[in-house]
Chains A and B, each alone.
Chain A
Amino acid sequence: MLINSNPATIMTDPETAQRTYVEPITAEAVAKVIERERPDALLPALGGQTALNVAVQVAESGVLERYGVEMIGAQVDVIKKAEDREQFRDAMTRIGLRVPRSGIVRTLPEAERVGQEIGFPVIVRPSFTLGGTGSGVAYNREELMELAHLGLDASPIHAVMLEESVLGWKEFELEVMRDRMDNVVIICSIENLDPMGVHTGDSITVAPAQTLTDAEYQKMRDAAIAILREIGVETGGSNVQFAVHPGTGEMVVIEMNPRVSRSSALASKATGFPIAKIAAKLAVGFTLDEIANDITRETRASFEPTIDYVVVKAPRFTFEKFPRTEDLLTTSMKSVGETMAIGRTFKEALMKAVRSLEIGCYGFTDPPPDAGADTLDQLRRELRRPNSKRLFQIAQAFQLGLSVAEVNRLTWIDPWFLRHIEELVELEQAIRAPGFLDDPEQLRFAKAWGFSDIRLAELSGSDEETIRRRRAKHGIRPVFKLVDTCAAEFEAYTPYYYSTYETEDESRPNDRRTVAILGGGPNRIGQGIEFDYCCVHASFALRELGIESVMINSNPETVSTDYDTSDKLFFEPLTREDVLHILETERPEGLIVQFGGQTPLNLAVPLERAGARILGTTPDAIDLAEDRKRFQVLLKDLDLKQPANDIAFTVEEAVAAAVKIGYPVVVRPSYVLGGRAMEIVYDEAMLREFMATAVHVSPGHPILIDRFLENAIELDVDAISDGRLTVIGGIMQHIEAAGIHSGDSACVLPPISVAPAIQDEVKRQTRLLARALNVVGLMNIQFALQGSTIYLLEVNPRASRTIPFVSKAIGVPLAKLATRVMLGQSLEELGFVEEVHPRHVSVKEAVFPFSRFPGVDLLLGPEMKSTGEVMGIGANFGIAYAKAQAAAGYDLPRQGTVFISVHDQDKAAAVAVARQFQQLGFNLVATRGTRDHLEAQGIPARLVLKVSEGRPHVVDLIKNKDIQLVINTSMGKKTSSDSYSIRRTTLLYNIPYATTLAGALAMAEAVAELQRGDWDVRTLQEYHGLT
Chain B
Amino acid sequence: MKPAWKRPPALLVLEDGTVFRGFTFAGQGRTLGEVVFNTSMTGYQEVLTDPSYKGQIVTMTYPLTGTYGVNDQDMESGAIQVEGFVVKEYQSVASNWRSTRGLAAFLEEHQKIGLEGIDTRALTRHIRTAGAMRGVIATDTDEVAELLEQVAAFPGLNNVDMVRHVTCARPYLWRSGPSAAGTWDPEHRGYRVAAVDFGIKYNILRNLERVGCQTLVYPAATPAEEILAGDPDGIFLSNGPGDPAAVGYGIETVRRLLGRKPLFGICLGHQLLGLALGGRTFKLKFGHRGANQPVKDLRTGKVEVTSQNHGYCVDLESMREVPVRLTHINLNDNTLEGMEHLEIPAFSVQYHPEAAPGPHDATYLFDRFIDLMAAHR
- The residues of A with any CB-CB pair to B shorter than 8 Å are 181-183, 185, 208-218, 221-222, 245-249, 287-289, 298-300, 302-310, 344-346, 404, 414-416, 419-420, 423, 426-427, 430, 441-442, 445-446, 481, 486-491, 502-504, 506
Contact = CB atoms under 8 A, between A and B. Distances in A.
B342 interface: no
A221 B359 contact: yes
B96 A211 contact: yes
B322 interface: no
A427 B5 CA distance: 9
23 contacts: A181-B303, A213-B43, A247-B97, A289-B294, A298-B333, A300-B331, A300-B332, A302-B303, A304-B292, A308-B61, A344-B89, A416-B93, A416-B94, A419-B93, A426-B3, A426-B4, A427-B3, A430-B5, A441-B5, A481-B121, A486-B292, A489-B37, A490-B332
B358 A214 contact: yes
A209 B3 CA distance: 27
Contacts of A426: 3-4
Interface in B276-297: 290-294, 296
A210 B67 contact: yes
Interface residues of B, number: 57
Q: Which 5 pairs across A and B sit closest by C-beta, in order of nearness?
A: A214-B43, A504-B122, A214-B357, A416-B95, A487-B61
A183 B295 CA distance: 11
Nearest to A219: B360
Classify the interface of chain A: helix, strand, loop or mixed.
Answer: loop
A213 B62 contact: no
Contacts of B119: 502-504
Contact of A300 (B93, B128, B294): B294
A194 to B, nearest CB: 15
Contacts of A218: 355, 357-360
Nearest to B129: A491
Contact of B88 (A183, A344, A491): A344
B84 to A, nearest CB: 19
Given A306-B290, A416-B91, A504-B121, A344 B45 contact: no
Contact of B42 (A212, A491, A504): A212
A306 B292 contact: yes
B331 A246 contact: no
Contacts of A289: 294, 296, 303, 331
A211 B67 contact: yes
A287 to B, nearest CB: 8
B62 A246 contact: no
B64 interface: yes
Contacts of A506: 125
A305 B119 CA distance: 20
A213 B96 contact: yes
Interface in B110-131: 118-122, 124-125, 128
B121 A308 contact: yes
B8 to A, nearest CB: 14
Interface stretch (B68-76, B138-146, B151-159, B309-317): B68-76
Given A214-B40, A310-B63, A488-B61, 14 more contacts: A210-B67, A212-B96, A213-B43, A213-B96, A221-B359, A221-B360, A300-B294, A302-B294, A307-B41, A345-B89, A416-B93, A487-B61, A487-B290, A488-B124
A426 to B, nearest CB: 7
Contacts of B302: 181-183
A346 B96 contact: no
B180 to A, nearest CB: 26
Interface in B38-55: 39-43, 45-46
B207 interface: no
B92 interface: yes
Contacts of B133: none
Contact of B74 (A182, A213, A420): A213
A506 B94 CA distance: 32
A242 to B, nearest CB: 15
A303 B93 contact: no
B62 to A, nearest CB: 6
B194 interface: no
B98 interface: yes
A415 B302 CA distance: 41
B65 to A, nearest CB: 11
Interface in B314-360: 331-333, 355-360
Q: Which of A218, A305, A426 has the most CB of B within 10 A?
A: A218
Nearest to B92: A419
B305 interface: yes
B284 to A, nearest CB: 12
B186 interface: no
B98 A213 contact: yes
B120 A308 contact: yes
B19 to A, nearest CB: 11
Contact of B4 (A288, A346, A423): A423
B264 to A, nearest CB: 22
A212 B68 contact: yes
A489 B358 contact: no
A100 B333 CA distance: 44
Contacts of B68: 210-213
A306 B43 contact: no
B97 A246 contact: yes
Interface string B9-26: 000000000000000000
A249 B68 CA distance: 13
A404 B97 CA distance: 16
B290 to A, nearest CB: 6
A345 B64 contact: yes
A756 to B, nearest CB: 64
B364 to A, nearest CB: 13
Contacts of B93: 404, 415-416, 419-420
Given A182-B302, A302-B331, A502-B119, A214 B356 contact: yes
Contacts of A442: 5
A308 B91 CA distance: 15
Contact of B98 (A209, A249, A298): A249
Contacts of B355: 214, 218
A488 B129 CA distance: 10
Contacts of B128: 488-491
A415 B68 CA distance: 11
A306 B96 contact: no
Contacts of B73: 215
Nearest to B7: A445
Contacts of A345: 63-64, 88-89
B63 A309 contact: yes
